[in-house]
């Protein structure tokens, strides 16, 4: 049913400013059913629209990185947004750049369909319309497409609106982004929207996303989980029995039974292609239909030492901290390695302190730790555990010099484990104690932050990573290997592990004390 607006003048004004209404009244799409239909924005598109409009209102322009799952309508929405702009503004040029020629043809076909079926009253005169361009001469506006390939694409343009599609798959991505950056003026009304599904972590899109998450970019990171899309649900088969892993997944993300059944069906399709177990969430499903941004970027085929769903569930839990309060500090010199600081009280991590510091100034880091000590002491702070490798030794010495020797405890990650027959060093021991903390049936709570989940799930099993040595001792993936693989250091993950270093009245490590590890399923698989 079309919206009812009585006056033509009012309708024209609304259509020129209200994209949702304009799409519904003026734009046609070809849905999966085949027949042409009005473009009614779905939940994912509405959410994205709200985020982009919010940024435009705050800054006067749009700079967005959009991480998405498969076929949620993001490219269609951006096409509609740009077509709406070039047909309602003068001197406005839009360009779209995709990763493959087929994708270019498909996305431009969507825009051409918009143009062909747009009501005459709202459609400006087009002087050119071909396989690559629609040009509205009376407005001096237009819409142009290209395929990523040549390093020079985009360098000679002057454009106001840019849509980069599947950026994670672009060849010559660095050159294209540099060229587009020069082509788009830093001016009000300009827009650059870079969207993609994930393609692992060794590419420019991942680097841009990480910088945006850290607040080191003018681009805003926008994640769109698959379950936001209304179509991704299926009627339940009464004979289906929910596997344990899917039950945990449903609880972690608050899914309905119909949503988790759809996920199981889609996972079954994808698991067959990699010879996986259909009752276990495979990496391919997680990458193409991510529930969190951290999950989307996991490396193909890798399995996290600390299961992703355990962390995801803990992000949404509500737990009251109890017992001694412990502060973990993993000092670093800045750059890729930053200082991570986090607290833990019983079953809760990060209730009071959750901080990453990019500094190589020992006095600065020590001063930040002192500030946290003073804040946490009235709340029952028992110990501050610091990794004394490298810069950490200086931070430890400075805190002792300041009179905090009774509360500060130094731990060397590479030192002999407390249980040397089970762990190759203290770092492996502390990370495994943390893993067991997540595995315990009692609920735990962690910061609801993608950057924390990324750190917690950065350590993987296999591929030269976490393993058992010839003596049956756990060898954790090295920080150097993680840096090489992910271009990051798990600063907050290591800081969290430090809170499991000590046995404080059998509370600080209540989960791990006396519990045998054995050849766990995560490693045996």
Q: Classify residue 250: in a domain, yes or no.
A: no
| pLDDT band per the 50, 70, 90 thresholds, residue 151 | low
Region of 441 on the Ramachandran plot (φ > 0 left; ψ -120 to 50 alpha; else beta): alpha
Q: Which of 165, 200, 235 is the last residue of a domain?
A: 200
3-class secondary-structure state, position 303? strand
pLDDT value of residue 316: 84
Question: What distance in Å separates the CA atoms of residue 425 and residue 476, rounded to the nearest whole number?
Answer: 9
301 occurs within a structural domain? no
- Tell which phi-psi region holds residue 442, choosing left (phi > 0), alpha (psi between -120 and 50) or beta: beta
**Tens of pLDDT, residues 404-456:** 999 999 999 999 999 999 999 999 999 999 999 998 878 999 999 888 988 89
Mean pLDDT of 61-67: 97
pLDDT of residue 510: 36
pTM assigned to the model: 0.71
Claim to verify: residue 187 and residue 334 sit in the same structural domain: no
Instruction: Determine the pLDDT at residue 247.
Output: 93
Residue-wise pLDDT for 234-276, tens only, equals 999 999 999 999 998 999 899 999 999 999 999 999 988 777 7
CA distances from 26 to 14, 39, 123 (A): 12, 8, 9
Q: pLDDT-derived band of residue 182, with 50, 70 and 90 as boundaries?
A: confident
Gyration radius from the chain CA atoms? 26
323, 180: one domain:
no
pLDDT of residue 293 exceeding 50: yes
**pLDDT at residue 313 in the model:** 85
Tell me, yes or no, whether 94 lies in a domain.
Answer: yes
Mean pLDDT within 63-91: 94
Q: What pLDDT does residue 467 have?
A: 87
The whole-angstrom separation of Cα 397 and Cα 408 is 10
pLDDT at position 94, please?
Answer: 92
Q: What is the CATH number of the domain that holds 104?
A: 3.40.50.300
Does a structural domain hold residue 245?
no
How many structural domains compose the chain? Answer: 2
Inter-axis angle of helices 491-498 and 426-439, to 10 degrees? 80
What CA–CA distance (Å, rounded) separates 486 from 495? 18
2 lies in a domain?
no
- Confirm whether 248 is domain-assigned: no
* Average of per-residue pLDDT values in the chain: 87
Report yes or no on 119 lying in a domain: yes
Q: Is the pLDDT at 512 greater than 50, yes or no?
A: no
Residue 227 pLDDT more than 70? Answer: yes
Per-residue confidence (pLDDT) for residue 155, from 0 to 100: 53
pLDDT band at 298 (very low <50, low <70, confident <90, very high): low
Lowest mean pLDDT among 302-311, 354-363, 492-501: 302-311
358 lies in a domain?
yes
Domain that holds residue 59: 8-200
Question: What pLDDT does residue 127 have?
Answer: 81
Q: What is the mean pLDDT of residues 159-170?
A: 92
- Once rounded to an integer, what is the mean pLDDT over residues 58-72? 95
CATH number, domain at 382? 3.30.420.240
Give the span between the Cα atoms of 269 and 315, in whole angstroms.
Answer: 29
In sequence order, what DSSP letters do the residues of 24-76 get, joined into one string?
HHH-EE--TTSS-EE----HHHHHHHHHHHHHHHHHSSEEEEEE--TTSSHHH
Strand partners, 136: 141
Domain boundary among 175, 200, 225: 200
pLDDT band at 463 (very low <50, low <70, confident <90, very high): low
What is the CA angle 321-326-330, rounded to 5? Answer: 130
- Single residue among 177, 200, 223 that ends a domain in this structure: 200
């Amino acid at each position: 049913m079309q919206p009812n607006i009585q006056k033509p003048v009012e309708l024209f004004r609304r259509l020129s400013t209200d994209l949702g209404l304009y799409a519904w009244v003026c734009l046609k799409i070809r849905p999966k059913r085949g027949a042409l239909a009005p473009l009614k924005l779905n939940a994912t598109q509405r959410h994205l629209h709200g985020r982009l409009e919010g940024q435009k209102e705050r800054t006067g322009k749009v700079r967005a990185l959009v991480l998405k799952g498969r076929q949620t309508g993001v490219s269609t929405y951006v096409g509609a947004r740009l077509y709406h702009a070039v047909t309602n503004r003068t001197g406005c040029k839009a360009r779209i750049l995709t990763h493959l020629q087929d994708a270019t043809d498909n996305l431009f076909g969507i825009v051409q369909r918009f143009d062909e079926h747009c009501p005459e009253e709202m459609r400006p005169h087009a002087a050119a319309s071909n396989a690559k361009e629609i040009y509205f001469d009376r407005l001096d506006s237009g819409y142009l497409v290209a395929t990523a390939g040549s390093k020079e694409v985009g360098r000679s343009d002057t454009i106001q609106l840019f849509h980069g599609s599947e950026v994670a798959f672009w060849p010559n991505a660095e050159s294209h982004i540099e060229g587009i950056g020069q082509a788009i003026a830093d001016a009000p009304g300009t827009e650059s929207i870079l969207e993609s599904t994930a393609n692992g972590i060794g590419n420019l899109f991942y680097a841009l996303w990480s910088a945006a998450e850290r607040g080191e970019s003018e681009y805003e990171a926008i994640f769109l989980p698959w379950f936001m899309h209304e179509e991704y649900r299926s009627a339940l088969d009464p004979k289906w029995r929910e596997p344990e892993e899917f039950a945990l997944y449903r609880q972690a993300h608050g899914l309905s039974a119909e949503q988790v059944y759809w996920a199981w069906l889609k996972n079954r399709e994808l698991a067959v292609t990699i010879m996986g177990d259909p009752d276990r969430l495979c990496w391919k499903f997680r990458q193409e239909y991510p529930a969190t941004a951290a999950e989307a970027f996991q490396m193909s085929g890798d399995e996290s030492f600390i299961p992703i769903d355990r962390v995801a569930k803990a992000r949404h839990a509500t737990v009251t901290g109890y017992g001694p309060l412990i502060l973990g500090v993993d000092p670093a010199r800045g750059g890729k390695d930053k200082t991570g600081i986090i607290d833990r009280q019983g079953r809760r991590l990060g209730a009071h302190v959750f901080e990453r510091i990019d500094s190589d100034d020992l006095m600065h880091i020590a001063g930040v730790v002192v500030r946290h000590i003073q804040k946490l002491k009235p709340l029952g702070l028992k110990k501050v555990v610091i990794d004394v490798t490298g810069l950490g030794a200086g931070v430890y010495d400075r805190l002792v010099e300041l009179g905090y020797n009774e509360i500060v405890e130094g731990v060397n990650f590479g030192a002999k484990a407390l249980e040397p027959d089970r762990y190759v060093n203290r770092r492996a021991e502390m990370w495994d104690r943390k893993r067991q903390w997540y595995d315990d049936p009692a609920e735990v709570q962690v910061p609801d932050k993608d950057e924390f989940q990324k750190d917690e799930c950065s350590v993987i099993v296999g591929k030269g990573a976490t393993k058992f040595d010839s003596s049956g001792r756990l060898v954790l993936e090295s920080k150097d290997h993680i840096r090489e693989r992910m271009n990051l250091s798990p600063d907050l993950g290591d800081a969290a592990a430090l809170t499991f270093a000590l046995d404080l009245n059998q509370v600080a490590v209540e989960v791990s004390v006396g519990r045998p590890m054995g050849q766990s399923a995560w490693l045996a698989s």
